[in-house]
A = this chain, B = another copy of it.
Amino acid sequence: MITGKNYIGNTLSNKGTKTYKTFNPKSNEVNEHQFYEATEEEINQAAQLATEAFSVFSQASGEKRAEFLNAIADEILALDTKLIETYMSESGLPEGRAIGERGRTIFQLRMFAVLVKNDQWREPKLDASDYDRKPIPKPDLRKMLIPIGPVVVFGASNFPLAYSTAGGDTASALAAGCPVIVKSHPMHAGTGELVSSAIIKAAKKTGMPNGVFSNINSSGIKVGEQLVMHPQVKAVGFTGSIYGGRALYNLAATRKEPIPVFAEMGSINPVIITQKSLETRASEIATTYSKSITLGAGQFCTNPGLLLAIESDELTSFISDLGEKTIAQDPQCMLHPNIKNSFVNKGDTVTNEAETKIVAEYKNTTSANYAGAKIVTVSGDTFLSNTYLHQEVFGPFSMVVQCKNEAQLLEIISKLEGQLTGTILAEKEEYSQLGKLVQTLQNRVGRIIFNGAPTGVEVCDAMTHGGPYPASTDSRFTAVGNGSILRWVRPFSYQDFPEELLPEILKN
Protein backbone atom coordinates (compact mmCIF):
# COMPACT_ATOMS: atom_id res chain seq x y z
CA MET A 1 0.00 0.00 0.00
CA ILE A 2 1.39 3.37 -1.05
CA THR A 3 0.20 6.19 1.22
CA GLY A 4 2.40 9.00 -0.07
CA LYS A 5 3.49 9.77 3.48
CA ASN A 6 6.93 10.07 5.02
CA TYR A 7 8.27 7.50 7.44
CA ILE A 8 9.45 9.43 10.47
CA GLY A 9 10.94 6.46 12.23
CA ASN A 10 8.15 3.91 12.43
CA THR A 11 5.39 6.48 11.94
CA LEU A 12 3.71 7.41 8.67
CA SER A 13 3.51 11.19 8.69
CA ASN A 14 2.17 13.91 6.39
CA LYS A 15 2.27 17.19 8.24
CA GLY A 16 2.89 19.25 5.13
CA THR A 17 0.56 20.42 2.41
CA LYS A 18 2.92 20.41 -0.56
CA THR A 19 2.42 17.32 -2.72
CA TYR A 20 3.78 15.86 -5.92
CA LYS A 21 3.35 12.78 -8.11
CA THR A 22 5.69 10.50 -10.00
CA PHE A 23 5.66 9.99 -13.75
CA ASN A 24 5.47 6.94 -15.97
CA PRO A 25 7.82 7.66 -18.87
CA LYS A 26 6.69 4.60 -20.83
CA SER A 27 2.99 5.51 -20.90
CA ASN A 28 3.95 9.20 -20.76
CA GLU A 29 1.44 9.77 -17.95
CA VAL A 30 1.48 10.99 -14.39
CA ASN A 31 1.11 8.17 -11.83
CA GLU A 32 -1.83 8.18 -9.46
CA HIS A 33 -0.31 8.47 -5.97
CA GLN A 34 0.23 11.76 -4.26
CA PHE A 35 3.35 12.25 -2.12
CA TYR A 36 3.64 14.64 0.80
CA GLU A 37 6.77 16.73 0.97
CA ALA A 38 8.32 16.55 4.44
CA THR A 39 8.17 19.61 6.67
CA GLU A 40 11.00 21.00 8.74
CA GLU A 41 9.29 19.62 11.83
CA GLU A 42 9.28 16.14 10.31
CA ILE A 43 12.94 16.45 9.36
CA ASN A 44 13.81 17.47 12.92
CA GLN A 45 11.84 14.56 14.31
CA ALA A 46 13.60 12.09 12.02
CA ALA A 47 17.00 13.47 13.03
CA GLN A 48 16.15 13.40 16.73
CA LEU A 49 14.85 9.82 16.48
CA ALA A 50 17.97 8.80 14.57
CA THR A 51 20.18 10.27 17.29
CA GLU A 52 18.28 8.42 19.98
CA ALA A 53 18.30 5.22 17.95
CA PHE A 54 22.07 5.56 17.43
CA SER A 55 22.81 5.12 21.13
CA VAL A 56 21.06 1.73 21.04
CA PHE A 57 21.70 0.62 17.46
CA SER A 58 25.43 1.40 17.55
CA GLN A 59 25.74 -0.98 20.52
CA ALA A 60 23.67 -3.81 18.99
CA SER A 61 25.62 -6.97 18.29
CA GLY A 62 26.73 -7.78 14.77
CA GLU A 63 24.36 -10.74 14.83
CA LYS A 64 21.41 -8.49 15.58
CA ARG A 65 22.32 -6.11 12.77
CA ALA A 66 22.79 -9.06 10.40
CA GLU A 67 19.34 -10.30 11.37
CA PHE A 68 17.92 -6.87 10.60
CA LEU A 69 19.63 -6.71 7.18
CA ASN A 70 18.41 -10.20 6.25
CA ALA A 71 14.91 -9.31 7.41
CA ILE A 72 14.96 -6.24 5.14
CA ALA A 73 15.90 -8.51 2.23
CA ASP A 74 13.05 -10.88 3.12
CA GLU A 75 10.52 -8.08 3.40
CA ILE A 76 11.58 -6.58 0.07
CA LEU A 77 11.04 -9.96 -1.58
CA ALA A 78 7.65 -10.18 0.12
CA LEU A 79 6.58 -6.99 -1.68
CA ASP A 80 6.61 -9.22 -4.73
CA THR A 81 4.93 -7.99 -7.94
CA LYS A 82 3.66 -4.82 -6.30
CA LEU A 83 7.26 -3.61 -6.04
CA ILE A 84 8.19 -4.68 -9.56
CA GLU A 85 5.14 -2.96 -11.05
CA THR A 86 5.69 0.23 -9.11
CA TYR A 87 9.37 0.24 -10.07
CA MET A 88 8.47 -0.16 -13.74
CA SER A 89 5.78 2.50 -13.64
CA GLU A 90 8.16 5.02 -12.08
CA SER A 91 11.28 4.34 -14.16
CA GLY A 92 10.21 3.06 -17.56
CA LEU A 93 12.70 0.24 -17.08
CA PRO A 94 11.68 -3.27 -18.16
CA GLU A 95 10.65 -6.12 -15.87
CA GLY A 96 13.89 -8.06 -16.34
CA ARG A 97 15.88 -5.09 -15.16
CA ALA A 98 13.53 -4.57 -12.19
CA ILE A 99 13.95 -8.16 -11.09
CA GLY A 100 17.70 -8.06 -11.68
CA GLU A 101 18.09 -4.89 -9.68
CA ARG A 102 15.99 -6.28 -6.86
CA GLY A 103 18.32 -9.29 -6.85
CA ARG A 104 21.32 -7.03 -6.59
CA THR A 105 19.70 -5.14 -3.71
CA ILE A 106 18.93 -8.36 -1.83
CA PHE A 107 22.44 -9.61 -2.51
CA GLN A 108 24.00 -6.44 -1.07
CA LEU A 109 21.89 -6.63 2.09
CA ARG A 110 22.82 -10.28 2.66
CA MET A 111 26.47 -9.61 1.84
CA PHE A 112 26.66 -6.97 4.57
CA ALA A 113 24.80 -9.30 6.93
CA VAL A 114 27.56 -11.86 6.42
CA LEU A 115 30.24 -9.20 6.78
CA VAL A 116 29.08 -7.82 10.13
CA LYS A 117 27.88 -11.06 11.71
CA ASN A 118 31.18 -11.17 13.52
CA ASP A 119 33.28 -8.13 14.34
CA GLN A 120 36.38 -8.88 12.22
CA TRP A 121 35.31 -6.17 9.77
CA ARG A 122 36.03 -3.66 12.55
CA GLU A 123 39.75 -4.27 11.97
CA PRO A 124 40.56 -4.95 15.62
CA LYS A 125 44.16 -4.11 16.60
CA LEU A 126 45.86 -4.90 19.89
CA ASP A 127 49.12 -3.46 21.17
CA ALA A 128 50.29 -5.12 24.35
CA SER A 129 51.36 -3.01 27.30
CA ASP A 130 54.89 -2.83 28.63
CA TYR A 131 54.53 -1.05 31.91
CA ASP A 132 58.24 -1.51 32.68
CA ARG A 133 59.38 0.28 29.55
CA LYS A 134 61.84 3.16 30.12
CA PRO A 135 61.63 6.12 30.12
CA ILE A 136 57.83 5.89 29.82
CA PRO A 137 55.65 2.83 30.45
CA LYS A 138 53.82 1.56 27.38
CA PRO A 139 50.04 1.44 27.87
CA ASP A 140 47.72 -1.31 26.67
CA LEU A 141 46.07 -0.07 23.47
CA ARG A 142 43.26 -1.67 21.50
CA LYS A 143 41.47 -0.24 18.52
CA MET A 144 38.50 -0.97 16.32
CA LEU A 145 36.14 0.79 13.92
CA ILE A 146 32.94 2.25 15.38
CA PRO A 147 29.96 3.85 13.61
CA ILE A 148 30.06 7.60 12.94
CA GLY A 149 26.40 8.48 13.67
CA PRO A 150 23.17 9.10 11.70
CA VAL A 151 23.71 9.02 7.92
CA VAL A 152 21.59 10.73 5.25
CA VAL A 153 21.30 8.83 1.95
CA PHE A 154 20.23 10.41 -1.34
CA GLY A 155 19.01 7.78 -3.78
CA ALA A 156 19.94 7.65 -7.47
CA SER A 157 17.50 8.31 -10.31
CA ASN A 158 18.92 5.48 -12.39
CA PHE A 159 18.82 2.72 -9.76
CA PRO A 160 15.49 2.92 -7.89
CA LEU A 161 16.47 -0.15 -5.85
CA ALA A 162 20.18 -0.95 -5.79
CA TYR A 163 21.44 2.62 -5.19
CA SER A 164 18.41 4.03 -3.42
CA THR A 165 16.19 3.42 -0.37
CA ALA A 166 17.69 0.07 0.66
CA GLY A 167 20.61 0.23 -1.76
CA GLY A 168 24.33 0.03 -1.13
CA ASP A 169 24.61 3.25 0.90
CA THR A 170 21.75 2.34 3.25
CA ALA A 171 22.84 -1.30 3.58
CA SER A 172 26.44 -0.39 4.39
CA ALA A 173 25.47 2.35 6.85
CA LEU A 174 23.02 0.10 8.71
CA ALA A 175 25.61 -2.68 8.67
CA ALA A 176 28.08 -0.29 10.31
CA GLY A 177 25.58 0.59 13.05
CA CYS A 178 24.48 3.99 11.72
CA PRO A 179 20.77 4.91 11.58
CA VAL A 180 19.76 6.06 8.09
CA ILE A 181 17.52 8.87 6.90
CA VAL A 182 16.76 8.45 3.21
CA LYS A 183 15.92 11.47 1.11
CA SER A 184 13.62 9.65 -1.29
CA HIS A 185 14.23 10.25 -4.99
CA PRO A 186 11.23 12.17 -6.34
CA MET A 187 11.14 10.16 -9.58
CA HIS A 188 10.44 6.93 -7.75
CA ALA A 189 8.80 7.96 -4.51
CA GLY A 190 6.35 5.03 -4.65
CA THR A 191 9.11 2.47 -5.02
CA GLY A 192 10.87 4.27 -2.20
CA GLU A 193 7.86 4.10 0.09
CA LEU A 194 7.34 0.40 -0.59
CA VAL A 195 10.97 -0.40 0.18
CA SER A 196 10.79 1.83 3.26
CA SER A 197 7.78 -0.09 4.50
CA ALA A 198 9.86 -3.28 4.16
CA ILE A 199 12.70 -1.75 6.17
CA ILE A 200 10.32 -0.55 8.90
CA LYS A 201 8.66 -3.99 9.07
CA ALA A 202 12.06 -5.63 9.36
CA ALA A 203 13.14 -3.16 12.04
CA LYS A 204 10.05 -3.93 14.12
CA LYS A 205 10.35 -7.68 13.65
CA THR A 206 13.97 -7.72 14.74
CA GLY A 207 13.50 -5.29 17.62
CA MET A 208 15.44 -2.35 16.24
CA PRO A 209 14.95 1.05 17.91
CA ASN A 210 12.45 3.49 16.46
CA GLY A 211 14.39 5.97 14.30
CA VAL A 212 16.89 3.48 12.93
CA PHE A 213 15.35 4.35 9.57
CA SER A 214 13.30 7.24 8.19
CA ASN A 215 12.16 8.04 4.66
CA ILE A 216 11.75 11.69 3.72
CA ASN A 217 9.80 12.77 0.64
CA SER A 218 10.63 15.82 -1.37
CA SER A 219 10.53 16.94 -4.98
CA GLY A 220 12.67 20.04 -4.48
CA ILE A 221 16.12 20.74 -3.12
CA LYS A 222 15.36 22.51 0.17
CA VAL A 223 14.58 19.37 2.16
CA GLY A 224 17.84 17.78 1.08
CA GLU A 225 19.74 20.88 2.11
CA GLN A 226 18.05 20.91 5.52
CA LEU A 227 19.04 17.29 6.04
CA VAL A 228 22.68 17.90 5.12
CA MET A 229 22.84 20.94 7.41
CA HIS A 230 21.15 19.22 10.33
CA PRO A 231 23.56 19.15 13.29
CA GLN A 232 22.44 15.64 14.26
CA VAL A 233 23.43 14.24 10.85
CA LYS A 234 27.02 12.95 10.79
CA ALA A 235 27.62 11.81 7.20
CA VAL A 236 26.02 11.90 3.76
CA GLY A 237 25.87 9.41 0.89
CA PHE A 238 24.80 10.58 -2.54
CA THR A 239 24.59 9.05 -6.01
CA GLY A 240 23.76 11.34 -8.91
CA SER A 241 24.90 14.31 -10.93
CA ILE A 242 28.06 16.35 -10.40
CA TYR A 243 25.89 19.41 -10.00
CA GLY A 244 23.81 17.89 -7.20
CA GLY A 245 26.65 16.10 -5.44
CA ARG A 246 28.92 19.12 -5.46
CA ALA A 247 26.15 21.35 -4.11
CA LEU A 248 25.70 19.04 -1.11
CA TYR A 249 29.45 18.74 -0.62
CA ASN A 250 29.82 22.54 -0.62
CA LEU A 251 26.95 22.91 1.81
CA ALA A 252 28.33 20.35 4.27
CA ALA A 253 31.68 22.17 4.24
CA THR A 254 29.95 25.30 5.57
CA ARG A 255 28.54 23.52 8.64
CA LYS A 256 29.85 24.49 12.08
CA GLU A 257 30.85 20.81 12.33
CA PRO A 258 31.73 19.76 8.78
CA ILE A 259 30.78 16.17 7.92
CA PRO A 260 31.96 13.74 5.28
CA VAL A 261 29.94 13.72 2.07
CA PHE A 262 30.55 10.76 -0.15
CA ALA A 263 29.04 11.62 -3.53
CA GLU A 264 29.38 9.20 -6.41
CA MET A 265 28.87 11.34 -9.47
CA GLY A 266 29.43 11.60 -13.19
CA SER A 267 31.95 9.77 -15.33
CA ILE A 268 32.61 9.30 -19.03
CA ASN A 269 34.66 6.12 -18.51
CA PRO A 270 37.36 6.33 -21.17
CA VAL A 271 38.05 3.24 -23.26
CA ILE A 272 41.40 2.93 -24.99
CA ILE A 273 41.61 0.69 -28.04
CA THR A 274 45.05 -0.19 -29.39
CA GLN A 275 45.81 -0.26 -33.09
CA LYS A 276 46.51 -3.97 -32.82
CA SER A 277 43.10 -4.65 -31.35
CA LEU A 278 41.49 -2.67 -34.15
CA GLU A 279 43.44 -4.75 -36.64
CA THR A 280 42.55 -8.00 -34.89
CA ARG A 281 38.93 -7.66 -33.79
CA ALA A 282 37.44 -4.28 -34.70
CA SER A 283 34.08 -5.76 -35.63
CA GLU A 284 33.74 -7.72 -32.38
CA ILE A 285 34.60 -4.59 -30.37
CA ALA A 286 32.04 -2.54 -32.29
CA THR A 287 29.40 -5.15 -31.52
CA THR A 288 30.26 -5.29 -27.81
CA TYR A 289 30.38 -1.53 -27.45
CA SER A 290 27.21 -0.86 -29.44
CA LYS A 291 25.49 -2.86 -26.69
CA SER A 292 27.42 -1.36 -23.78
CA ILE A 293 26.69 2.20 -24.97
CA THR A 294 22.95 1.56 -25.29
CA LEU A 295 22.51 -0.73 -22.25
CA GLY A 296 19.65 0.57 -20.08
CA ALA A 297 19.31 3.53 -22.47
CA GLY A 298 22.91 4.44 -21.58
CA GLN A 299 21.80 5.37 -18.08
CA PHE A 300 24.71 3.80 -16.20
CA CYS A 301 27.37 5.75 -14.34
CA THR A 302 29.89 3.43 -15.97
CA ASN A 303 28.60 3.98 -19.51
CA PRO A 304 31.50 4.19 -22.01
CA GLY A 305 31.11 7.81 -23.12
CA LEU A 306 34.59 8.20 -24.55
CA LEU A 307 36.57 5.92 -26.85
CA LEU A 308 40.21 6.75 -27.57
CA ALA A 309 42.41 5.36 -30.32
CA ILE A 310 45.17 6.47 -32.66
CA GLU A 311 44.06 7.53 -36.12
CA SER A 312 44.35 4.88 -38.83
CA ASP A 313 42.30 3.36 -41.63
CA GLU A 314 41.21 0.64 -39.24
CA LEU A 315 39.96 3.26 -36.81
CA THR A 316 38.01 5.01 -39.56
CA SER A 317 36.21 1.79 -40.48
CA PHE A 318 35.69 0.89 -36.83
CA ILE A 319 34.02 4.24 -36.16
CA SER A 320 31.52 3.83 -38.95
CA ASP A 321 30.88 0.19 -38.01
CA LEU A 322 30.33 1.21 -34.36
CA GLY A 323 27.96 3.96 -35.48
CA GLU A 324 25.86 1.62 -37.60
CA LYS A 325 25.72 -1.10 -34.97
CA THR A 326 24.86 1.33 -32.19
CA ILE A 327 21.92 2.97 -33.93
CA ALA A 328 20.72 -0.49 -34.96
CA GLN A 329 19.98 -1.13 -31.28
CA ASP A 330 16.35 -0.58 -30.34
CA PRO A 331 15.77 2.75 -28.60
CA GLN A 332 14.80 2.34 -24.96
CA CYS A 333 12.67 4.36 -22.63
CA MET A 334 14.56 6.85 -20.46
CA LEU A 335 13.79 7.37 -16.78
CA HIS A 336 11.91 10.64 -17.09
CA PRO A 337 11.05 13.28 -19.70
CA ASN A 338 13.54 15.63 -18.01
CA ILE A 339 16.32 13.08 -18.47
CA LYS A 340 15.34 12.50 -22.08
CA ASN A 341 15.35 16.27 -22.72
CA SER A 342 18.67 16.69 -21.04
CA PHE A 343 20.10 13.84 -23.15
CA VAL A 344 18.89 15.45 -26.37
CA ASN A 345 20.04 18.93 -25.41
CA LYS A 346 23.47 17.90 -24.19
CA GLY A 347 24.01 15.66 -27.19
CA ASP A 348 23.05 18.57 -29.46
CA THR A 349 25.25 21.13 -27.78
CA VAL A 350 28.23 18.78 -27.91
CA THR A 351 27.71 18.07 -31.61
CA ASN A 352 27.17 21.77 -32.28
CA GLU A 353 30.70 22.47 -31.06
CA ALA A 354 33.04 23.22 -33.95
CA GLU A 355 34.87 20.25 -35.47
CA THR A 356 32.81 17.50 -33.90
CA LYS A 357 31.30 15.14 -36.44
CA ILE A 358 28.18 13.02 -36.04
CA VAL A 359 29.03 9.46 -37.08
CA ALA A 360 25.56 8.03 -36.65
CA GLU A 361 22.32 9.15 -35.10
CA TYR A 362 19.07 7.23 -34.67
CA LYS A 363 16.61 8.93 -37.02
CA ASN A 364 13.33 7.01 -36.86
CA THR A 365 10.55 8.38 -34.74
CA THR A 366 10.45 6.92 -31.25
CA SER A 367 7.79 6.87 -28.59
CA ALA A 368 7.95 9.80 -26.20
CA ASN A 369 10.84 9.48 -23.72
CA TYR A 370 12.62 6.80 -25.77
CA ALA A 371 16.17 7.66 -26.66
CA GLY A 372 17.87 6.97 -29.97
CA ALA A 373 21.62 6.52 -29.80
CA LYS A 374 24.23 8.91 -31.13
CA ILE A 375 27.91 8.39 -31.90
CA VAL A 376 30.18 11.34 -32.62
CA THR A 377 33.85 11.67 -33.42
CA VAL A 378 36.45 14.35 -32.95
CA SER A 379 40.20 14.78 -33.41
CA GLY A 380 42.61 14.58 -30.51
CA ASP A 381 43.59 18.22 -31.08
CA THR A 382 40.00 19.39 -30.83
CA PHE A 383 39.27 17.28 -27.77
CA LEU A 384 42.37 18.63 -26.02
CA SER A 385 41.55 22.24 -26.77
CA ASN A 386 37.84 22.07 -25.94
CA THR A 387 37.22 20.73 -22.43
CA TYR A 388 33.49 21.27 -22.97
CA LEU A 389 33.66 18.01 -24.90
CA HIS A 390 34.86 16.19 -21.75
CA GLN A 391 31.46 16.39 -20.07
CA GLU A 392 29.10 13.48 -19.59
CA VAL A 393 26.10 13.11 -21.93
CA PHE A 394 23.88 10.87 -19.80
CA GLY A 395 22.22 8.42 -22.21
CA PRO A 396 23.09 6.25 -25.24
CA PHE A 397 25.90 8.47 -26.47
CA SER A 398 29.60 8.03 -27.06
CA MET A 399 32.42 10.06 -28.55
CA VAL A 400 35.35 8.55 -30.41
CA VAL A 401 38.52 10.64 -30.21
CA GLN A 402 41.02 10.11 -33.01
CA CYS A 403 44.44 10.81 -31.49
CA LYS A 404 47.41 11.86 -33.60
CA ASN A 405 49.80 9.49 -31.88
CA GLU A 406 50.51 7.72 -28.62
CA ALA A 407 51.90 10.86 -26.99
CA GLN A 408 48.64 12.66 -27.65
CA LEU A 409 46.62 9.71 -26.40
CA LEU A 410 48.55 9.79 -23.11
CA GLU A 411 48.24 13.57 -22.89
CA ILE A 412 44.47 13.34 -23.32
CA ILE A 413 44.18 10.69 -20.61
CA SER A 414 46.29 12.73 -18.21
CA LYS A 415 44.07 15.76 -18.79
CA LEU A 416 40.75 14.01 -18.20
CA GLU A 417 38.84 14.72 -15.01
CA GLY A 418 38.65 11.88 -12.49
CA GLN A 419 36.67 8.84 -13.64
CA LEU A 420 35.03 5.78 -12.11
CA THR A 421 36.58 3.46 -14.69
CA GLY A 422 39.00 3.22 -17.55
CA THR A 423 39.14 0.34 -20.01
CA ILE A 424 41.99 -0.96 -22.13
CA LEU A 425 41.38 -3.13 -25.16
CA ALA A 426 44.70 -4.64 -26.23
CA GLU A 427 46.27 -7.80 -27.57
CA LYS A 428 48.41 -10.25 -25.66
CA GLU A 429 51.61 -9.47 -27.51
CA GLU A 430 51.29 -5.79 -26.53
CA TYR A 431 50.90 -6.28 -22.78
CA SER A 432 54.55 -5.78 -21.97
CA GLN A 433 54.50 -2.31 -23.58
CA LEU A 434 51.42 -1.06 -21.76
CA GLY A 435 53.05 0.04 -18.49
CA LYS A 436 52.98 3.75 -19.25
CA LEU A 437 49.37 3.62 -20.47
CA VAL A 438 48.21 1.72 -17.39
CA GLN A 439 49.98 4.15 -15.06
CA THR A 440 48.63 7.25 -16.79
CA LEU A 441 45.11 5.88 -16.77
CA GLN A 442 45.40 4.69 -13.17
CA ASN A 443 46.02 8.28 -12.04
CA ARG A 444 42.62 9.33 -13.37
CA VAL A 445 40.34 6.40 -12.45
CA GLY A 446 39.21 4.08 -9.64
CA ARG A 447 39.17 0.86 -11.68
CA ILE A 448 40.76 -0.37 -14.90
CA ILE A 449 39.07 -3.09 -16.95
CA PHE A 450 41.08 -5.15 -19.39
CA ASN A 451 39.43 -6.33 -22.59
CA GLY A 452 35.89 -5.89 -21.34
CA ALA A 453 33.28 -3.19 -21.04
CA PRO A 454 32.93 -0.82 -18.07
CA THR A 455 29.19 -1.33 -17.65
CA GLY A 456 28.61 -3.89 -14.92
CA VAL A 457 29.82 -3.19 -11.38
CA GLU A 458 30.42 -6.42 -9.50
CA VAL A 459 29.39 -6.31 -5.84
CA CYS A 460 32.37 -7.87 -4.07
CA ASP A 461 35.30 -7.33 -1.77
CA ALA A 462 37.75 -6.28 -4.48
CA MET A 463 35.49 -3.70 -6.14
CA THR A 464 36.32 0.01 -6.21
CA HIS A 465 33.40 2.13 -7.35
CA GLY A 466 34.65 5.66 -6.89
CA GLY A 467 37.68 7.57 -8.09
CA PRO A 468 39.37 10.95 -8.31
CA TYR A 469 37.00 13.94 -8.34
CA PRO A 470 34.46 14.33 -9.91
CA ALA A 471 33.91 10.56 -10.11
CA SER A 472 33.48 10.89 -6.36
CA THR A 473 34.02 13.58 -3.74
CA ASP A 474 36.37 11.32 -1.75
CA SER A 475 38.50 8.91 -3.73
CA ARG A 476 39.66 7.24 -0.51
CA PHE A 477 36.47 5.16 -0.43
CA THR A 478 34.39 2.89 -2.65
CA ALA A 479 30.59 3.13 -2.95
CA VAL A 480 30.16 -0.54 -3.85
CA GLY A 481 31.27 -3.76 -2.15
CA ASN A 482 32.33 -4.64 1.37
CA GLY A 483 34.73 -1.71 1.53
CA SER A 484 31.87 0.79 1.25
CA ILE A 485 31.15 0.29 4.96
CA LEU A 486 34.37 2.20 5.71
CA ARG A 487 32.69 5.47 4.73
CA TRP A 488 30.54 5.38 7.87
CA VAL A 489 33.00 4.37 10.56
CA ARG A 490 35.89 5.86 12.48
CA PRO A 491 38.75 4.27 14.39
CA PHE A 492 38.46 4.34 18.17
CA SER A 493 41.12 3.44 20.74
CA TYR A 494 40.69 1.91 24.18
CA GLN A 495 43.67 2.64 26.42
CA ASP A 496 44.27 0.54 29.55
CA PHE A 497 40.62 -0.53 29.54
CA PRO A 498 39.25 -2.93 32.14
CA GLU A 499 38.55 -6.26 30.43
CA GLU A 500 34.86 -6.14 31.37
CA LEU A 501 34.30 -2.82 29.59
CA LEU A 502 36.02 -3.85 26.34
CA PRO A 503 33.93 -4.93 23.34
CA GLU A 504 34.05 -8.74 22.90
CA ILE A 505 36.33 -8.64 19.88
CA LEU A 506 38.98 -6.68 21.81
CA LYS A 507 39.04 -8.86 24.89
CA ASN A 508 42.10 -10.98 25.64
Which A residues fall within an 8 A CB radius of B?
A: 55, 59, 100, 125-127, 135-136, 138-139, 141-143, 146, 148-149, 249-250, 253, 257-260, 417-418, 428, 431-432, 434-435, 438-439, 442-443, 446-452, 456, 458, 460-464, 466-470, 473-478, 483, 486-487, 489-498, 500-501
Chain B residues near A496 (CB-CB < 8 A): 449-452
How near does chain B come to A126, taking the closest CB pair, in angstroms?
6
Chain B residues near A446 (CB-CB < 8 A): 490-493
Chain B residues near A136 (CB-CB < 8 A): 456
How near does chain B come to A416, taking the closest CB pair, in angstroms?
12
CA distance A486 to B489 in the complex (A): 14
Can you list 18 residue pairs at the A/B interface with Cβ under 8 Å? A55-B443, A125-B462, A139-B449, A143-B463, A148-B475, A148-B476, A250-B253, A253-B253, A257-B468, A258-B469, A447-B494, A448-B493, A448-B495, A452-B495, A462-B493, A464-B490, A476-B490, A476-B491
How near does chain B come to A266, taking the closest CB pair, in angstroms?
13
CA distance A487 to B475 in the complex (A): 11
Query: With contacts A253-B249, A418-B257, A496-B451 known, is A490 near B475, CB below 8 A?
Result: yes
CA distance A433 to B265 in the complex (A): 47
CA distance A447 to B495 in the complex (A): 7
CA distance A253 to B139 in the complex (A): 38
Chain B residues near A492 (CB-CB < 8 A): 442, 446-447, 464
CA distance A460 to B493 in the complex (A): 11
Chain B residues near A450 (CB-CB < 8 A): 494-498, 501
CA distance A462 to B458 in the complex (A): 32
Chain B residues near A250 (CB-CB < 8 A): 253
Decide if B458 touches A478 in the complex (CB within 8 Å). Answer: no
Which residue from B59, B126, B462 sits with its C-beta under 8 Å from A143?
Answer: B462
How near does chain B come to A145, taking the closest CB pair, in angstroms?
9
Query: With contacts A253-B253, A498-B431, A498-B450 known, is A491 near B469, CB below 8 A?
Result: no
Decide if B447 touches A127 in the complex (CB within 8 Å). Answer: no
CA distance A452 to B136 in the complex (A): 13
Query: With contacts A446-B491, A447-B493, A451-B496 known, is A501 near B462, CB below 8 A?
Result: no
Decide if B476 touches A260 in the complex (CB within 8 Å). Answer: yes
Decide if A142 touches B434 in the complex (CB within 8 Å). Answer: no
Decide if A501 touches B260 in the complex (CB within 8 Å). Answer: no
Decide if B127 touches A461 in the complex (CB within 8 Å). Answer: yes
Closest B residue to A434 using CB positions: B501
How near does chain B come to A311, taking the closest CB pair, in angstroms?
25
Extra contacts besides A259-B469, A434-B501 (9): CB < 8 Å: A55-B439, A127-B460, A139-B452, A257-B417, A431-B501, A450-B498, A452-B496, A462-B493, A478-B491
Chain B residues near A456 (CB-CB < 8 A): 136, 139
Closest B residue to A123 using CB positions: B483
Decide if A449 touches B495 in the complex (CB within 8 Å). Answer: yes
How near does chain B come to A418, taking the closest CB pair, in angstroms?
7
Chain B residues near A438 (CB-CB < 8 A): 501
CA distance A158 to B135 in the complex (A): 21
CA distance A75 to B350 in the complex (A): 56
Closest B residue to A440 using CB positions: B55
CA distance A417 to B231 in the complex (A): 12
Closest B residue to A142 using CB positions: B462
Chain B residues near A460 (CB-CB < 8 A): 127, 141
Chain B residues near A432 (CB-CB < 8 A): 500
Chain B residues near A495 (CB-CB < 8 A): 447-450, 452
Q: Which 4 A-B pairs have the closest CB atoms?
A: A253-B253, A141-B462, A464-B493, A447-B493
Most chain B C-beta atoms within 10 Å of own C-beta, residue among A452, A474, A491 = A491
Decide if B500 touches A431 in the complex (CB within 8 Å). Answer: yes
Chain B residues near A498 (CB-CB < 8 A): 428, 431, 450
Decide if A477 touches B452 in the complex (CB within 8 Å). Answer: no
Chain B residues near A428 (CB-CB < 8 A): 498
CA distance A432 to B502 in the complex (A): 11
